[in-house]
A and B are shown apart, each in its own frame.
Chain A
Amino acid sequence: MIYNHYNCAPIPEQIVDLASLPTGARGVVRSLRGGRGFLSRLATMGFTAGTEVTVLQNYGHGPIITLVRGTRVALGRGEARHILVSVVR
């Protein structure tokens, strides 16, 4: 939970899919969607719940590049949509 500086009211977490994060933005993985084999590949590449992901390249079309656990991982746009993250401010 994140709290507002001025009145200490909680700011609702903004959950988006990874493909909609712009270049340079960061998010914390909340959940993964998809079949078992796909989840297994994502998870072993480091996308587990609670992991911080930085978007290194996102031109709004085509695949994106992320930095996860110190490794650059390229993801197809469709694949990135299956990763839900909360936006890090």
Chain B
Amino acid sequence: MAQPTLTGLSCHTNGAQQVQAIQLREGALHIALAGQPNVGKSTVFNMLTGLNQHVGNWPGKTIEQKVGTIHLPDIDILLVDLPGTYSLTANSPEECIARDYIIREQPDAIIVIVNAAALEHSLYLVAELLQLSRPIVLGLNMLDVAEQNGLQIEPHVLEAALGIPVIPLVATRNQGVRELLEAARRVATHPEQFKPNRPSIRSSHAEVLDQVRGLIAEFVPEPYPVDWVALKLLEGDSEITAMMREATPAEIWEKVEAILRAHEDAFLDIVGGRYEWIERMVRAAVVRPSTGPITLTDRLDRIATHPLWGLIVLSGIFALVFWLTYAVATPLQSWLDSAIVQPLITGIQSVLAGAPGWLVGLLTEGVLGGVGTVITFLPILILFFAMLGLLEDVGYLARAAFVMDRFMHLMGLHGKSFLPLFLGFGCNVPAVMGTRIIEDQRVRLMTIILSPLVPCAARLAVVAFLAPAFFGPHATIATWGLVTFNILVLGVLGALIHRLLAADSDSPFIMELPLYHLPNARTIGLFVWHNTLAFLRKAGTIILIFSVLIWALSVLPSGEVEQSILAWLGRALTPIGRWMGWTDWRLITALLSSFAAKENTIVTLGILYRGEGMDLAQRVSSTLSPAGALAFLVVQMLFIPCAATTAIIRQEGGAWKWGAISVGLLLIVSLVAGMLVYQAAALLGLGV
């Protein structure tokens, strides 16, 4: 029988390969960390492991996997951070990873973090996890937030009801984190003492469940628990159904299917039953005020989610991020360049005074040119990641998605598409990766394809570098105009694709709005650290290699830049450049070089326009008319995604096709836009 394909949802994962790379003493415990989104799980993970973290991907998946180690005096603990999920259905790849990991790797214990301020809701995952029969301890987090919202929770009452250890936590203040680890260690080493109160199915379906279990019991593959598989079949879980169809003899499977068909309503009944069980569990443990107090979240949301004020707040935050970039990051960038990169170049030149010219060129222009780009690019990236981490940590990003939903829908996108697109202002690579938060596969692909139209920090840096020379006092307005133009193109292109290809389909917008809370410096710091490190790894290789390559292409074969391979390529493409008012082949060459990394436009211009006196931007400006200069920046801002982004698009889209579509689409869009802008500017008399 043919295996049904589950695009992007294949559940078969295995975390063992990565785990083996970590050095642990004999007898180490293996503990998994689970929890829904917005419960402070990553803060707990960071508090427990600090910098002892390995960040990678789940094998065969594009979803981030964090593994940490904790070295106690007498024992080592391996802590695996499972993806944040609301349940353990097969609705998303994250849910598949979480449940497959628990079933296949059989961790010694599971720590589940729940949000005390949204207790019923976050216990749903616990209800599902208890059916997987691994020892569990519960970290009752955000007790401070619950208290601020007028909720009184008694952990020991909850513990008595659930029959599992419940540890009160305020993870942001590091309260209870050690006790949580101790409790997990106790249940891991004494699993026989773990006697939880497990949710049972409503009586209306108990008999049916027994029938299904009886039929399939001997065919359930190891190590899947039979009870759990029977329950998931009754829930209509696509992945488990496919697995059991394969594993069960046809005549028995027919009987199972007949039962399942007759009870298609079972799913809602099972979920309802779990929530009833949760209500019973929390009834005695939670004291609710009769009338809910007006909380901080209510007050802030009156503005932050208001149809008009919400947008004003959002654009205010945008403006602040850009202002910080120009006021803080850009000066820091030039300081790094003059304080570190330039002295290094001068140093190498004096040390290698007697060496052959090509070696000095390779080191100072090729290697140090690339290194310099990477170093000076860091302030902007760190700033963006810090702002993003902060907005996420205080709970604002979900509000941004909420107010943007209407506009995103016009493009066939989703409120959640806004978050990855926002990330794109830092770098398109995390933007494409960030689309994972979108459950709907079609919307996700649309967002991936459109995200390179968001001008990344590297492109903005190129514009910030050239605009003052091109437009003088109007540089700021021109920059704003260029950014706005990119967003407009994104909107128009999105709406067009939506109308032409998928006007009938819409994805559901269901999203939790977490309570606002104070940010945690450690969580944000580690977020910045991991993302910057990831950029350095990428940049350290691709940008450096490319810098050397471009330098080589610009001197080979004769040593003269005017007769180089790169010059030949640029000259060959000059006829296309003429449509946009560019007569200098070096501009086209620089644009082509931006495929490796966007900031290479400047690197290449620097190499090609070397030794002509004046400031680089001035030299470039002198070869262009105002209309041609504008067209150059328009094309530069809309040009094909860089190599790293293209590779990520392939990875996240699941096929090279998507990388190719993205490159082709943006090549056409950028050239057409460049020509239109040039012709329009010429018509308006901007000067050609």
* Residues of A bordering B, CB below 8 Å: 32, 36-46, 48-51, 56-57, 59, 61-63, 65, 68-76, 78-79
Closest chain-A Cβ to B516's Cβ sits at a distance in Å of 11
Q: Are A57 and B305 in contact (CB-based, < 8 A)?
A: yes
- Shortest beta-carbon distance, A32 to chain B, in Å? 7
The reply to whether B121 and A43 form a contact with Cβ atoms under 8 Å apart is no
Instruction: For the complex, give the distance between the alpha carbons of A63 and B418 in Å.
Output: 15
Chain A, Cβ-Cβ closest to B151? A70
A51–B118 Cα distance when bound, in Å, is 15
Indicate if the CB atoms of B275 and A38 lie closer than 8 Å: no
Interface with A: B86-94, B161-169, B461-469, B474-482, which one? B86-94
Inter-chain contact B512/A45, CB cutoff 8 Å = yes
Proximity string of chain B (74-86) to chain A, C-beta cutoff 8 Å, 1 when within and 0 when not:
0000000000001
- Stretch among B381-389, B492-500, B502-510, B533-541 lining the A interface: B502-510
Complex Cα gap A76–B508 (Å): 7
How many inter-chain residue pairs (CB < 8 Å) link A and B?
Answer: 108
Determine whether the beta carbon of B509 is less than 8 Å from that of A70.
no
Contact, CB under 8 Å: A69 / B513: no
B275–A65 touching, CB < 8 Å: no
Q: How far is the CA of A63 from the CA of B506 in the complex (A)?
A: 14
Q: Tell me if B236 and A36 are in contact (CB < 8 A).
A: yes
**Contact between chains at A62 and B405 (CB < 8 Å):** yes
Q: A43-B271, A45-B86 are in contact. Are A69 and B509 (CB under 8 A)?
A: no
B117 within 8 A of A: yes
Closest chain-B Cβ to A45's Cβ sits at a distance in Å of 6
Minimum CB–CB distance for B232 against chain A, Å: 12
Instruction: Give Cα distance in the complex from A75 to B512, angstroms.
Output: 9
Q: How far is the CB of A89 from chain B (nearest CB, A)?
A: 17
B409 contacts which chain A residues (CB < 8 A)?
76
Q: A63-B402, A70-B120 are in contact. Are A41 and B91 (CB under 8 A)?
A: yes
- Find out whether the CB atom of A69 lies under 8 angstroms from the CB atom of B118: yes
Q: Is B508's CB under 8 angstroms from A41's CB? A: yes
Partner of A74, one of B121, B275, B402: B402
Q: Is the CB of B275 within 8 A of A72?
A: no
- In the complex the two chains form, is B509's CB within 8 Å of A63's CB? yes
Q: In the complex, how many residues of chain B place their beta carbon closer than 8 angstroms to a beta carbon of chain A?
A: 38
Q: Tell me how far the C-beta of A57 lies from the nearest C-beta in chain B, rounded to whole angstroms.
A: 6
B546 within 8 A of A: no
Give bound CA distance, A40 to B272, whole Å: 11
Beta-carbon contact of A74 and B513 below 8 Å: yes
Q: Which of B323-349 contact A (CB under 8 A)?
A: none
Min CB–CB distance A77 → chain B (angstroms): 9
- Is B124 part of the contact surface with A, judged by Cβ < 8 Å? yes
Question: In the docked arrangement, what's the CA distance between A45 and B439, Å?
Answer: 14
Within 8 A of A (CB), among B368-412: 398, 402, 405-406, 409
- Name the residue on A nearest B511 (C-beta): A74
Given contacts A43-B271, A51-B275, contact A57 B301 (CB under 8 A): yes
Contacts of A45 in B (CB 8 A): 86, 121, 510, 512
Among candidates B119, B121, B415, B510, residue contacting A42 with C-beta atoms closer than 8 Å:
B510
Q: Are B91 and A40 in contact (CB under 8 A)?
A: yes
A38 lies within 8 A of B508 (CB): yes
Give Cα distance in the complex from A63 to B415, angstroms.
10
Residue in B closest to A38 when the chains form the complex, CB atoms? B508
Q: Is the CB of B268 within 8 A of A32?
A: yes
| B301, A44: Cβ atoms closer than 8 Å | no
Proximity string of chain B (112-125) to chain A, C-beta cutoff 8 Å, 1 when within and 0 when not: 00000111110010
| Contacting pair A73 B511 (CB below 8 A) | yes
A33 to chain B, nearest CB (A): 12
Can you show 6 pairs from A to B with CB atoms below 8 A apart?
Answer: A32-B268, A43-B267, A62-B406, A65-B301, A69-B120, A74-B511
Q: Which residue of chain B lies nearest to A54 when distances are taken between CB atoms in the complex?
A: B292
Is there contact, CB below 8 Å, between A46 and B275?
Answer: yes
Contact B513 A48 (CB under 8 A): no
8 further A-B contacts with Cβ under 8 Å, apart from A44-B86, A65-B402, are A40-B267, A41-B439, A43-B272, A46-B120, A69-B121, A70-B118, A74-B509, A78-B508
Q: State A44–B91 Cα separation when bound (angstroms).
A: 11
| Any A CB within 8 A of the CB of B316 | no
A79-B307 in contact given A44-B86, A51-B275, A72-B297 (Cβ < 8 Å): no
Whether the pair A73, B91 counts as a contact (CB closer than 8 A) is no
